[in-house]
Amino acid sequence: MPARQERWHLKNKKKDIVMISLIVLDGQGFISRRVPQMKRRLTLSFIMKEHFCETLRKPLRNSARKKWLTFLFLVLNAVLYSQSQSPDSWPSFRGDPGLTGNSSARLNPPFKLLWTFKTGDAIKSSPVIANGTVYIGSNDGYLYAMTSSGKVKWKFNTKNAIEAAPLFLDNTIIIGSLEGVIFAVDAEKGVLKWSYKTEGQISGSSNWTYGPDRKQKRILTGSYDYFLHCVDASSGKPIWKFETSNFINGSPAITGNMAVFGGCDGLLHLVNTDNGKAIDTIDIGDYIPASAAILNDKAFFGNYDGDFYCADLKLKKILWKTGGGGPFLSSPAVFGGRVITGSQNNFLYCFNTRDGEFIWKYRAAGKVDASPVICGNLVIFASDDGRLHILETETGKEKWNYEIGCKITSTPAVTSKLIVIGGEDGRIYAFGK
């Protein structure tokens, strides 16, 4: 996607101009703003893709200025999110660099099983979908590319088990193996572009961001060698690595030029992606086995002790936490004022993002280590008892389930045409209409 600039203009009666300028690059945004004094009336004009949208007029009192600007930034965040999502694509483990676990596809259950494919060993990896192709790793050591009808397009041998989800970026699949190697594979041909060796196993998916010039793309991957590694996306050459004091299990979440991740050291790390330097750490006190989700400068995550947290990334502190859950190996999904996550105590929980207030919980017949995906008014997830579930986001009421019949720790990939998930029986399962 080429770079483009989008502007929001705010005018008051004295014709002072407030300009918020948004540069969108491949779905990631960088905001610059000039905000002079405003008075009674503001006009918001929104131009995007050369289309002029409806102008919103709102009389404001002085006390309302801050709330109105807050609203504008929420609009900007929504635009950024919409630019990075397509209902026909699920390019990464949690759908976007912030790991929000949201699909713009809308589900209309019931669904039927369209096809399955048997790999050579258990599947703990999670699928991604791009350009009509499904990509997923297996413990048999192969990265598989499958057509939407369930035929093998190609397979690539990494020579060791794969538990991490792939990342699709610029017609390249990035994936790590338990041997600690990151592979970049041509998404169409299945041939190796480059590889990079860490000194420990890789269990979490890679993520990506821009370098300081906002042109160069970088791959970020956590390893059991205690390091978060940053390499050039086109060549695999190392750029920097950030050392922690224990294993890194999950994927780093990205917001702007900040990477946010936890690990077995019990710390939430905030790292500058430009230079690999620590911004700050927040001490949680117990393992953080999964990935965080970031929305509106808030990070949501759970720990192994059964506590679930919301951290303010600007204030560098915990805003709220809940207790009493089982270990959280599931990465949360967050959208619309709700954060949803699974636990090893068999429950899927829904909390209010503002204060952590409990909204609903759903009891499955097995552990919920797989991560949920929110699709508007519905949420989809898998459980250890071998079922794929779809619930109402609002109430937690079950709308549909399918008994796959084997343990599932894979997270579903969701598009407008396919729902794909892996099972520990070694099969890939695809559902649709």
| d(C-alpha 82, C-alpha 63), whole Å | 31
**Domain assignment of residue 100, yes or no:** no
* pLDDT score, position 65: 53
**Domain assignment of residue 165, yes or no:** yes
Using DSSP, state whether 389 is helix, strand or coil: strand
228 with 356, same domain? yes
45 with 152, same domain? no
* pLDDT score, position 67: 53
**Domain assignment of residue 97, yes or no:** no
DSSP string, 242-298: EE-SS---SPPEEETTEEEE--TTSEEEEEETTT--EEEEEE-SS---S--EEETTE
CA torsion through residues 63, 66, 70, 75, sign: positive
310 with 397, same domain? yes
Other beta carbons within 10 Å of 236: 17
Structural domains of the chain, count: 2
| d(C-alpha 151, C-alpha 83), whole Å | 30
336 with 198, same domain? yes
179 with 275, same domain? yes
Query: Which residues make Cβ contacts (< 8 Å) with residue 15, sequence separation at least 6?
Result: none
Evaluate whether 236 touches 182 at the Cβ level (below 8 Å).
yes
139 with 243, same domain? yes
* pLDDT score, position 323: 87
**Domain assignment of residue 47, yes or no:** yes
* pLDDT score, position 21: 37
* pLDDT score, position 64: 54
CATH at 417? 2.130.10.10
Of 31, 66, 84, which residue constitutes the final position of a domain? 84
135 with 57, same domain? no
**Domain assignment of residue 422, yes or no:** yes
394 with 254, same domain? yes
354 with 222, same domain? yes
66 with 121, same domain? no
- How many alpha carbons fall within 13 Å on the CB side of residue 67? 7
**Domain assignment of residue 96, yes or no:** no
| d(C-alpha 124, C-alpha 58), whole Å | 51
* pLDDT score, position 348: 98
Cα 285–291–294 angle (5° rounding)? 100
Mean pLDDT by 10 residues, the chain (433 residues): 38 36 36 31 31 36 52 47 69 96 94 98 98 97 98 98 98 98 98 98 97 95 98 98 96 97 96 98 94 97 96 96 92 96 97 96 97 97 97 97 96 96 98 96
Torsion of CA 13, 18, 24, 29, to 10 degrees: -130
In which domain, by residue range, is 16 found? 4-84
Task: Return the closest-CA partner of residue 377 out of 406, 347, 345, 336.
Answer: 336
* pLDDT score, position 216: 94
241 with 116, same domain? yes
228 with 298, same domain? yes
